[in-house]
């Protein structure tokens, strides 16, 4: 879905599914504030020394739009984040209110088909609970929304990112294995075999838009999607942004392996209070998230210690997700010791810059003719769909090597 690049800077469309959520709103506000010189780029990996010199899209050339299932305006969505989480200042939001109002023109109502009661419950129209359209009709509407965005704004390309609420896990269906199978499921309106994210991914890839599944929703990056991406020459990446407890886990667990210390038990207890936490409080949606958080240790350590991952809703914490991890381990002569850490991070402040990084790197990959799963982006995900390591150090080195290759072998500056 690329138009011929005109002279002058590239105009990149960024289409967020879940555009009114905390992460999307923070990513948009952050990109606009940095572009206007009103905020620093702290937290953006693409602005750090190891990725210096890459031909990435400028933040001021990004144009935002997206789908949501709630009708509030972008200004109100951002003010909601300011009120609930305090992570973006009210004055900052008012300084970009004009930009946010323009983005409202590029926001369309999405679908929550087969997304379960927890997600349908946050939709503010009847269509959320009782989607009357067939799958081909919904897919057609999504296509028109994204194509209309590109044409209206004269964009050179569009990257689509899934930032919608975590869906309940989708049971695997034989048709998920191929692009033709997925197409057939949609054509035959087999609603129970897809969720909303399956449709968003299918349309984005079919249109030639790079697709990033930042959520744990397993319906949003199926083997058939990978096949479709390859056949359309489009890159894709996922699953589930690595921003908090799992980030720390994937940095710390290698230390035990490097020192031949045996991890006996690793228990993690997460509490969070925003809408994401509310959705995850539902057992089906929670199971999908636990699955992406729990696979890390065995791959890094080479064995499975006793593990437990708990996620609980604590309303008063809002976006300030808190994780307490207890690690019991054994050293020389069988002596047992322990390590505990407490992580208190603002979820959307940690996630938003990664989303911008992923958009820029996916757009670059598309321009370079890369297609299929992007292995060098594994460090951004809890459950990387490509790359065989969960070790943050190895994953980051893969990204650094990619940047070096693109710079023609020139090493990254020391960090």
Ligand X SMILES: NC(=O)c1ccc[n+]([C@@H]2O[C@H](COP(=O)([O-])OP(=O)(O)OC[C@H]3O[C@@H](n4cnc5c(N)ncnc54)[C@H](O)[C@@H]3O)[C@@H](O)[C@H]2O)c1
Strands 12-17 and 157-162, how do they pair? Answer: parallel
Contact 387, 375 (CB under 8 A): yes
Query: Which of 39, 94, 122, 317 is the binder for ligand X (CB under 6 A)?
Result: 122
> 62 vs 69, which CB is nearer to ligand X?
69
Contact 224, 176 (CB under 8 A): yes
**Cα distance between residue 390 and residue 382, in whole Å:** 8
Tokens of 122: 């946050």
13 part of the interface to ligand X, by CB under 6 A: no
110 part of the interface to ligand X, by CB under 6 A: yes
Which residues, at least 6 apart from 15, have a Cβ–Cβ distance to it below 8 Å? 64, 65, 66, 67, 146, 149, 158, 159, 160, 161, 204, 209
Query: Which of 87, 106, 112, 391 is the binder for ligand X (CB under 6 A)?
Result: 112
170 part of the interface to ligand X, by CB under 6 A: no
Residues 334-353 that bind ligand X (CB under 6 A): 347-348, 350-351
Query: Which of 1, 17, 374, 403 is the binder for ligand X (CB under 6 A)?
Result: 17
Asked if omega into 74 is within 30° of 0 (cis), the reply is: no
Strand, coil or helix: 160: strand
x/- map, 197-216, ligand X, by CB under 6 A: -----------------xx-
Which residues, at least 6 apart from 387, have a Cβ–Cβ distance to it below 8 Å? 375, 376, 378, 395, 398
x/- map, 279-318, ligand X, by CB under 6 A: ----------------------------------------
> 51 vs 279, which CB is nearer to ligand X?
279
23 part of the interface to ligand X, by CB under 6 A: yes
Give the interface segment with ligand X, choosing from 17-25, 34-42, 129-137, 297-305 (CB under 6 A).
17-25
x/- map, 48-67, ligand X, by CB under 6 A: -------------------x
Tokens of 345: 């991070």
The least distance separating ligand X from the CB of residue 129, rounded to whole angstroms, comes to 12
Residues 260-279 that bind ligand X (CB under 6 A): 274-276
Tokens of 329: 């381990």
**Cα distance between residue 380 and residue 43, in whole Å:** 13
Query: Which of 1, 13, 15, 20 is the binder for ligand X (CB under 6 A)?
Result: 20
Query: Which of 163, 170, 193, 226 is the binder for ligand X (CB under 6 A)?
Result: 163
Strand, coil or helix: 342: strand
- Rounded to the nearest 5 percent, the helix, strand and coil shares of the chain are 50, 20, 35
The least distance separating ligand X from the CB of residue 389, rounded to whole angstroms, comes to 19
Give the interface segment with ligand X, choosing from 94-102, 147-155, 241-249, 335-343 (CB under 6 A).
241-249
Which residues, at least 6 apart from 88, have a Cβ–Cβ distance to it below 8 Å? 25, 26, 29, 30, 78, 81, 82
164 part of the interface to ligand X, by CB under 6 A: yes
> 22 vs 361, which CB is nearer to ligand X?
22
Query: Which of 1, 12, 14, 22 is the binder for ligand X (CB under 6 A)?
Result: 22
Tokens of 96: 């970009």
**Cα distance between residue 219 and residue 201, in whole Å:** 9
371 part of the interface to ligand X, by CB under 6 A: no
**Cα distance between residue 162 and residue 157, in whole Å:** 17
218 part of the interface to ligand X, by CB under 6 A: no
The least distance separating ligand X from the CB of residue 177, rounded to whole angstroms, comes to 24
Residues 62-91 that bind ligand X (CB under 6 A): 67-70
Residues binding ligand X (CB under 6 A): 17-18, 20-23, 67-70, 110-112, 115, 119, 122, 163-166, 196, 214-215, 240-241, 243-244, 274-276, 347-348, 350-351
């Amino acid at each position: 879905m690329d138009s011929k690049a005109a002279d002058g800077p590239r105009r990149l469309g960024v289409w967020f599914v879940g555009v009114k959520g905390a992460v999307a709103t923070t990513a948009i506000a952050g990109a606009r504030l940095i572009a206007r010189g009103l905020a620093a780029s702290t937290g953006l990996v693409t602005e750090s020394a190891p990725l210096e010199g890459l031909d990435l899209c400028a933040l001021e050339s990004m144009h935002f739009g997206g789908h949501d299932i709630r009708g509030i305006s972008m200004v109100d969505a951002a003010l909601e984040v300011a009120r609930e989480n305090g992570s973006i200042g009210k004055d900052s939001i008012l300084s970009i209110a004009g930009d946010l109002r323009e983005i409202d023109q590029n926001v369309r109502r999405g679908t929550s088909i087969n997304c379960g009661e927890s997600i349908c419950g946050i939709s503010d129209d009847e269509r959320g609970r009782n989607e009357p359209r067939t799958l081909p009709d919904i897919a057609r509407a999504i296509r028109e929304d994204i194509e209309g965005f590109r044409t209206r704004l004269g964009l050179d390309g569009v990257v689509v990112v899934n930032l919608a609420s975590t869906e309940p896990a989708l049971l695997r269906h034989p048709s998920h294995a191929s692009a033709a199978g997925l197409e057939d499921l949609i054509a035959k309106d087999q609603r129970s075999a897809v969720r909303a994210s399956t449709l968003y991914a299918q349309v984005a890839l079919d249109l030639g838009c790079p697709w990033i599944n930042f959520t744990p929703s397993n319906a949003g990056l199926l083997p058939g999607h990978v096949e479709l991406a390859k056949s359309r020459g489009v890159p894709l990446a996922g699953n589930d942004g690595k921003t908090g407890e799992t980030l720390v886990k994937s940095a710390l667990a290698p230390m035990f392996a490097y020192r031949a210390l045996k991890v006996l038990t690793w228990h993690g207890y997460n509490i969070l209070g925003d809408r994401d936490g509310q959705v995850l409080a539902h057992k089906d949606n929670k199971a999908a998230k636990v699955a992406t958080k729990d696979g890390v240790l065995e791959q890094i350590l080479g064995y499975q210690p006793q593990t437990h991952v708990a996620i609980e809703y604590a309303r008063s914490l809002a976006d300030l997700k808190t994780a307490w991890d207890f690690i019991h381990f054994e050293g020389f002569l069988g002596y047992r010791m322990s390590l505990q850490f407490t992580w208190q991070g603002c979820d959307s402040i940690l996630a938003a810059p990664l989303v911008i990084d992923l958009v820029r790197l996916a757009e670059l990959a598309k321009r370079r003719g890369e297609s299929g799963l992007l292995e060098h982006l594994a460090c951004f995900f809890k459950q990387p769909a490509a790359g065989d390591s969960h070790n943050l150090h190895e994953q980051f080195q893969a990204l650094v090597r990619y940047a070096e290759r693109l710079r023609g072998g020139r090493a990254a500056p020391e960090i």
